[in-house]
Amino acid sequence: MSRWSRYWFGEGGQLGAAVIRIAIATSVLWTLAGLHVDGGPPSAYDPDGLMMLLGASMPPPWLIDALLAVAFASTAAMLLGLLSRASTAISLFSALALASYEVSFTPGWSHHNNAVFLAHLAFLFAWGGDALSVDTWIRRWLGRPAPSLHRYQFSIRLVQFAVALTFFNAAMIKLAQAHFTLDWALSDNLRNHLLVHYDLSGNPRTTVANWLMQSPWRYQTAALLNLISQSLPFVALLVQRRPWLRFACGAFFAIETLAFGLVMNLWNLHWLPLTAAFVDWDRLFGRAASRSIRAEPMPCRQRRLLAVFVTAFVVYDLAVAFAYPRIDTVLKTYPFSAFPMFSRIRAERPYQFLGGRIAADAPAEVLARINRQRAYRFLHRTRDRDRLRARLDVASRQISRYAGQNIGRIGLHLVVFRATSPPEPAALDEQPIALIAETSADGEFRSFVGATGRDRQGRYLQPGESSALPAGTRVLYFPDDGPTALELDGEWRGSRFYYGDVRGRTQAFAIETGGARWFVAREPHRGWW
């Protein structure tokens, strides 16, 4: 334990803590400027993070407006170093509450703000205002003595850990998905990820992405470099006594952030200031005094409390990042999260997968605009019938507004997407195979979404609204998530259809009734992420 304590509570770092304070405040202000806090329909609200403290009901608009004002003011004070420790705490909780509110309207969350708030939380108890701050200027103006040196390293290194784990977690999940081989990189995997990322959403590919997809050696080399660059910032944590090597490894956090934008068109430029955590600012600017003068001994109680905070942060961050099955979306303790970042193996030939498409009697460009939205691209994963109906109602209103006319029937279709295999040009074909849910022109909602399971009698499929199924209803399955439908052998026992062995690894189940195919359930994917 003494080695653990020496690592976190070393000498020096006064200037470094001040620069990191400024860097985090800059990132938070940048984040606040891009937050979408307009909310959404109450039916889509599912509180995450700090919003869970307010219960299941949406907070009133005046509270969100107040939090926004407090967040900007306190973060600006943190940037300037005015009442540094208090403004850091207020900035964290107000800004994090707003970010939690934003993600509470989406199934799961994207990861574009997590790194910022994890760094902010790691810096919560830092003495970041002892240099480069208004507090220091006021103290000098009043003729008060300079502050005693504190233990700054615990906050500097905890911020480094929070930032480095973001990409390291992604690299380790990719290796785990490939059973700790290089199959994630040395295959068609990245090519297929780019196809899914761009062609599925209908967004144009970046120049870099398009260039990479034209040749196997290009996308395989890029994928291998991705694993290396995502791992190096974590190596920086192990070379604290070698500041130039630490900076060289930490700089790959910025390199990877920029590469992520160039290849995936996911620009997280507000992460870039966090790279400052890997620089030894005291050594760089010759702050010998902060290293040669020993810091005052920390009171035992204070040291124990800080050690508990550091240990709890590290253990919980690692647990949420690597726990299997994923627990981040169960615990919903945003911003703590796993960072899979395109970690699934998409290397089969031909590569095919299931997705969803909204269909309606509307212009093609309007439907394309709807299907590009993340909320609808992943709607096919929803098994809650009430949520499906609410989302289709929202989609119907949006389509009517975009098209300038009322639409009638709207449906959500399960679709098989298939990627072409090299050396063919990279492209994605799609084939609808079943209806997931539908709302008719008169507002009647219909869906047979149900579940699969196992009991003492064996494996079963249980459609929703099974009591409304007529005699002769066929039960189908789609081996390996492909477009070919095979009839499922089994028998109905009450509302459940019991069946035996099926062909393929994973499959979707459907019923055929009234001349239409309706999706019922899909056997869950077995594996990490």
The pLDDT, as a whole number, for residue 21 is 97
pLDDT tens profile 22-67 = 999 999 999 999 998 887 778 778 899 999 999 888 999 999 999 9
Contact 229, 259 (CB under 8 A): yes
Q: How far apart are CA 178 and CA 3, in angstroms?
A: 34
Q: How far apart are CA 529 and CA 319, in angstroms?
A: 15
pLDDT tens profile 96-115 = 999 999 999 887 778 899 99
Contact 169, 339 (CB under 8 A): yes
For the chain, percent of residues with pLDDT exceeding 90: 50
The domain segmentation of the chain, as residue ranges, is 2-331, 354-522
Q: How far apart are CA 196 and CA 202, in angstroms?
A: 10
The answer to which of 3-7, 361-365, 425-429 has the lowest mean pLDDT is: 3-7
Instruction: Name residues whose C-beta falls within 8 Å of residue 441's C-beta, 6 or more positions apart in sequence.
Output: 408, 409
Instruction: Name residues whose C-beta falls within 8 Å of residue 187's C-beta, 6 or more positions apart in sequence.
Output: 220, 345, 347
Interval 179-195 mean pLDDT: 94
Residue 298: other Cβ atoms inside 10 A: 15
- Strands 428-439 and 410-419 turn out to be antiparallel
Which residues partner with 207 through β-bridges?
A: none
Residue 37: other Cβ atoms inside 10 A: 17
Contact 508, 439 (CB under 8 A): no
Interval 195-212 mean pLDDT: 91
Interval 401-405 mean pLDDT: 84
Q: How far apart are CA 143 and CA 135, in angstroms?
A: 12
Q: How far apart are CA 306 and CA 295, in angstroms?
A: 16
Q: How far apart are CA 282 and CA 292, in angstroms?
A: 11
First-to-final CA distance of the chain: 34
Q: How far apart are CA 208 and CA 216, in angstroms?
A: 14
Sign of CA dihedral 169, 170, 171, 176: positive
Contact 522, 506 (CB under 8 A): yes
Q: 452: which 2 tokens?
A: 């699969």
Interval 156-175 mean pLDDT: 96
pLDDT band at 473 (very low <50, low <70, confident <90, very high): confident
The pLDDT, as a whole number, for residue 11 is 79
The pLDDT, as a whole number, for residue 64 is 94
Q: 310: which 2 tokens?
A: 């550091």
Q: 291: which 2 tokens?
A: 């290293």
Q: Could you give the maximum distance between any two Cα atoms of the chain, in Å?
A: 91
Contact 280, 157 (CB under 8 A): no
Contact 121, 154 (CB under 8 A): no
Q: Which residue has the tokens 């979408």?
A: 36
Report the chain's mean pLDDT, rounded to a whole number: 88
The pLDDT, as a whole number, for residue 506 is 66
Which residues partner with 445 through β-bridges?
A: 439
**Could you give phi then psi for residue 2, rounded to 5 degrees?**
-65, -35
- Strands 451-455 and 490-493 turn out to be unpaired
Sign of CA dihedral 218, 219, 220, 221: positive
Sequence-ordered strand ranges (E) for 130-281: none
Rg (CA), the chain: 27
485-to-120, 353, 418, 499, 509 alpha-carbon distances in Å: 51, 15, 16, 16, 9
Contact 347, 183 (CB under 8 A): yes
Interval 257-285 mean pLDDT: 94
Highest mean pLDDT among 203-207, 224-228, 306-310, 358-362: 224-228
Q: How many CA atoms lie within 13 A of 432 on its CB side?
A: 13
Q: How far apart are CA 309 and CA 101, in angstroms?
A: 25
Question: Is residue 242 left, alpha or beta, with left meaning phi > 0 and alpha meaning psi from -120 to 50?
Answer: beta
The pLDDT, as a whole number, for residue 528 is 41
Q: At residue 297, does pLDDT exceed 80?
A: no
The pLDDT, as a whole number, for residue 42 is 82
pLDDT band at 194 (very low <50, low <70, confident <90, very high): very high
Q: Report angle CA 433, 44, 344 to the nearest 5 degrees.
A: 50
- For residue 166, give the nearest of 51, 241, 256, 55 by alpha carbon: 256
